[in-house]
């Protein structure tokens, strides 16, 4: 059953990968594409349906205006041209996921076409992915295969169908063939789908939750020997539904194709099923470039005309694109490329922005999120933003440190207290008795004791070897159980010994 594969390195040595993606985005409209039934995930089966979704005879679909506007926004965000007029078409096929025996889609007249997306890879390299088209269609019902092995279609006795998802508005985004990615292909695949997801989420047109199937990716992979222009035969891995899985699926298919080509056999043009458990694909069905779906214009729907005024109105409502926002924030905050990339990869950019808005400096916000919170979130296995640290807490903690009320070490202790639900930073400082000893009296006593305990060190400092002071400071900190302000201790020691700092 399992296919032979080459190592990724060997595959790269001999072959050049060409990629292509079809990403389906479910829109978060209140109702469906062509019916007024609710577009809601997770309800009781076959309750979010009416006669249109069930394809009953004589029904008349009517287009959802909001879905059209969301589709145009997606097109604009992908730098596409928006068709002045376009139509829906019927894609005819027999499968119980549609009760109509056709899917209402778009064929030769997509609403958006000829766009591009600049994808930034983890090291900052920017790779342009050309968008062929983005067209509107409706989602299909959900099939559950019963009997047989683990809900898979192979060996199933029968299938159960829930049409709640039937008719949910979809936008399918299709890339042009992506050449030149080389060994970065798996990473690019993941970054591209992540970028599309980020864009539709930022536009507010989709909930963009991959685990719910709001964003689904079909990944096309083919290989050709280095230097050859003609594309190899491709496979299409269907429904790869997490970012990590997209990366793994492309990686796997490259290794599998390479092994097939090495054996001298041609690659079979087919769909592949992705299996997360084994991180591999299995053969689906053969696929030709011209599957005979007998497309024809949908006679029950009239053409969509997107006037230039309408398109410009919609363009004016677009939020700042995520990539532009990142550039602006990095410049505002004065982070280096590496610092900023770390922040983005750790997923705390929004949190840092909020913390700065709450009154922290960019440096302080980064120190707390990257230095303290990210690590704690990792240990707790949650997103940093979900850990429960409010921007105001960071601002308060930092102010306490700057005012000399607590030191950095205590501040991290207070943070732990906040996370344990012990109250506000001020309350925790009070309750735990954490306060920097600021009265010089007890400090001087501790300093005198430390100097007396290490007379050799005291002499060195008197002699000008100021770097030796650490040993005395350490002694004082130990004696005060970390509650002294180290900076002040240093000053006092120098004063005591009559040495200029």
Partner 1 sequence: MAAINRDDVAHLARLAHIEMSAEELDRMAGELAVIVDSVKSVSEAAGDDVPATSHPIPLTNVFREDVVGHTFTAEQALSGAPDAYEGRFKVPAILDEG
Binding site for partner 1 (CB under 8 A): 29-31, 35-38, 44-51, 54, 62-68, 85, 87, 92-97, 144-145, 147-148, 153-154, 156-163, 285, 292, 294, 296-299, 301-305
Nearer to partner 1, 109 or 354 (CB): 109
Instruction: Give the distance, in angstroms, between the CA of residue 175 and the centroid of all CA atoms in the same chain.
Output: 19
CB of 144 to partner 1, least distance (A): 7
In whole angstroms, the minimum distance from the beta carbon of 34 to partner 1 comes to 8
| Phi-psi label, residue 293: left if phi above 0, alpha if psi -120 to 50, beta otherwise | alpha
Nearer to partner 1 by Cβ, of 297 and 347: the residue is 297
Distances (CA, A) of 258 to 5, 224, 278, 339, 379: 7, 9, 19, 38, 39
Residue carrying the six token digits 């899917």: 103
At closest approach, how far in Å is the CB of 175 from partner 1?
24
Helix (H, G, I), strand (E, B) or coil at 323: helix
How many Cβ atoms from other residues are within 10 Å of residue 496's Cβ? 15
Residue nearer to partner 1 on the CB measure, 301 or 390: 301
Which of 205, 457 has the CB closer to partner 1? 205
The total number of residues shown for the chain amounts to 501
Q: How far apart are CA 119 and CA 74, in angstroms?
A: 16
Pick between residue 158 and residue 501 the one whose CB is nearest to partner 1: 158
DSSP annotation of 290 reads T
Of 93 and 231, CB closest to partner 1: 93
Give whichever of 47 and 345 is closer to partner 1, judged by the CB atom.
47
Provide the token pair at 379: 């240990």
Structure tokens, 175:
């890339």
- Check if the beta carbon of residue 222 is closer than 8 Å to that of residue 235: yes
- Residue 173 contacts residue 131 (beta carbons within 8 Å): yes
């Amino acid at each position: 059953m399992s296919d032979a594969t080459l190592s990724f390195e060997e595959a790269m040595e001999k072959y050049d990968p060409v990629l292509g993606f079809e990403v389906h985005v479910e829109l978060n409209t209140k109702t469906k594409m062509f019916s007024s039934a609710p577009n809601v995930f997770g309800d009781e089966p076959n309750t979010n349906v009416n006669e249109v979704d069930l394809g009953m005879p004589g029904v008349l679909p009517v287009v959802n205006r909001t879905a059209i506007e969301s589709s145009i926004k997606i097109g604009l965000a992908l730098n596409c041209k928006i068709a002045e007029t376009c139509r829906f078409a019927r894609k005819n096929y027999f499968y119980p996921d549609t009760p109509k025996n056709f899917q209402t889609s778009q064929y030769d007249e997509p609403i958006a076409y000829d766009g591009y997306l600049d994808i930034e890879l983890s090291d900052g390299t920017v790779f342009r992915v050309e968008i062929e088209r983005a067209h509107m269609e409706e989602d299909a019902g959900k099939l559950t295969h019963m009997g047989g092995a683990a809900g898979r279609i192979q060996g199933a006795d029968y299938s159960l169908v829930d049409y709640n998802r039937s008719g949910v508005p979809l936008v399918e985004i299709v890339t042009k063939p992506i050449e030149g990615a080389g060994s970065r292909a798996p990473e690019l695949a993941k970054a591209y789908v992540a970028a599309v997801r980020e864009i539709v989420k930022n536009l507010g047109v989709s909930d963009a939750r991959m685990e719910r199937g709001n964003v689904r990716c079909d990944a096309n992979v083919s290989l050709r020997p280095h230097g050859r222009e003609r594309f190899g035969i491709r496979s299409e891995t269907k429904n790869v539904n997490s970012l990590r899985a997209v990366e793994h699926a492309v990686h796997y298919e490259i290794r599998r194709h390479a092994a097939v080509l090495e054996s001298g056999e041609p690659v079979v043009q087919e769909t592949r099923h992705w299996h997360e458990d084994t991180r591999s694909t299995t053969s689906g069905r053969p696929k030709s470039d011209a599957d005979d779906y007998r497309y024809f214009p949908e006679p029950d729907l009239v053409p969509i005309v997107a006037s230039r005024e309408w398109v410009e109105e919609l363009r004016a409502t677009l939020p700042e694109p995520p990539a532009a926002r990142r550039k602006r924030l990095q410049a505002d905050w004065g982070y280096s490329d590496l610092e900023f990339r770390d922040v983005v990869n750790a997923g705390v950019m929004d949190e840092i922005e909020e913390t700065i808005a709450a009154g922290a400096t960019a440096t302080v916000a980064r120190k707390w999120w990257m230095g303290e919170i990210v690590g704690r979130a990792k240990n707790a296995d949650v997103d940093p933003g979900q850990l429960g640290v409010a921007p105001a807490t960071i601002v308060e903690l930092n102010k306490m440190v700057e005012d000399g009320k607590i030191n950095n070490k205590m501040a991290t202790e207070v943070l732990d207290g906040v996370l344990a639900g012990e109250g506000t930073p001020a309350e925790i400082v009070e309750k735990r008795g954490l306060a920097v000893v600021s009265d010089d009296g007890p400090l001087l006593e501790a300093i005198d004791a430390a100097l007396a305990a290490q007379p050799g060190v005291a002499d060195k400092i008197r002699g000008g070897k100021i770097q030796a002071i650490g040993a005395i400071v350490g002694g004082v900190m130990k004696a005060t159980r970390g509650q002294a302000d180290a900076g002040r201790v240093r000053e006092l020691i120098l004063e005591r010994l009559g040495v200029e700092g």
